[in-house]
């Protein structure tokens, strides 16, 4: 190690070097006592953790591991409780976008997924999103989304805008 890197490592937690004076390389010093060695079990009687290695003497837990949820042969709780319902493989999760979010970001005119990604309302264009009616909209906007709540649709149309479903546009293009 170079002297500069050692100096930088020793300076950790104390007064650092000047702002422009950066240590060479990408050394990130580790404070003393922040890392511990793992407990070494079964290394002889003199080590305090030899022979049985912290597992006590005899019994199932000393001899092998016991799987999670095992209750000693008793019927486990996850099998005693009744099962209810099912999860549909066709279920779609929609990302909620409120009218107040659109109003706050200052979007006007034609709004679709691409524009919402640019204004950081959505993460990517492929996200399914539904417009919800929380908040008010003052400008006329024409929104293309995957779903609309009834209140959102009414508020948009009241402000002079229009709503279209993305699935309908895709089926017309095909």
CATH code of residue 143: 3.100.10.10
- Residue 135 belongs to a domain: yes
Both tokens assigned to 33: 């006592």
Q: What is the pLDDT of residues 70-124, one digit of tens each?
A: 898 999 999 999 999 999 999 999 999 999 999 999 888 999 999 999 999 999 9
- Residue 99 belongs to a domain: yes
Both tokens assigned to 152: 């959102």
- Residue 164 belongs to a domain: yes
- Residue 80 belongs to a domain: no
What is the per-residue pLDDT for 24?
55
Backbone angles phi, psi at 131, to 5 degrees: -85, 125
Average of per-residue pLDDT across 163-173: 86
Return mean pLDDT, the chain: 86
22 vs 157 pLDDT, higher one = 157
35 vs 94 pLDDT, higher one = 94
59-68, 81-90, 125-134: segment of lowest average pLDDT:
59-68
Average of per-residue pLDDT across 47-60: 88
Please count the other Cβ atoms lying within 10 Å of the Cβ belonging to residue 156: 23
Query: Is the confidence at residue 137, as pLDDT, over 60?
Result: yes
- Residue 122 belongs to a domain: yes
- Residue 72 belongs to a domain: no
d(CA 86, CA 67): 26
Q: 29, 33, 36: which is closest to 12 by C-alpha?
A: 29
**pTM for this model (two decimals):** 0.53
* Positive/negative CA dihedral, 33, 39, 43, 49: positive
- Residue 149 belongs to a domain: yes
- Residue 161 belongs to a domain: yes
Both tokens assigned to 89: 């493989």
What is the per-residue pLDDT for 14?
57
What is the per-residue pLDDT for 20?
53
User: Which structural domain range is residue 163 located in?
Assistant: 95-171
Number of domains in the chain: 1
């Amino acid at each position: 190690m170079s002297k500069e890197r050692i100096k930088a490592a020793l300076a950790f937690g104390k007064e650092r070097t000047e702002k422009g004076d950066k240590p060479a390389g990408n050394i990130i010093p580790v404070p003393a006592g922040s890392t511990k060695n793992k407990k070494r079990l079964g290394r002889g009687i003199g080590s305090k953790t030899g022979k049985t290695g912290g597992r006590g003497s005899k019994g199932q837990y000393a001899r092998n591991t016991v799987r999670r949820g095992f209750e000693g042969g008793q019927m486990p709780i996850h099998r005693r409780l009744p099962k209810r319902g099912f999860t549909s493989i066709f279920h779609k999760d929609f990302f909620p976008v409120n009218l107040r979010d659109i109003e706050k970001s200052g979007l006007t005119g034609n709004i679709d997924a691409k524009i919402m990604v640019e204004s950081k309302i959505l993460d990517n264009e492929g996200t399914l999103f539904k417009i919800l009616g929380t908040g008010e909209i003052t400008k006329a906007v024409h929104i293309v989304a995957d779903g609309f709540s009834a209140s959102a649709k009414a508020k948009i149309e009241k402000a002079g805008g229009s709503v279209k479903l993305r699935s309908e546009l895709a089926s017309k293009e095909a």
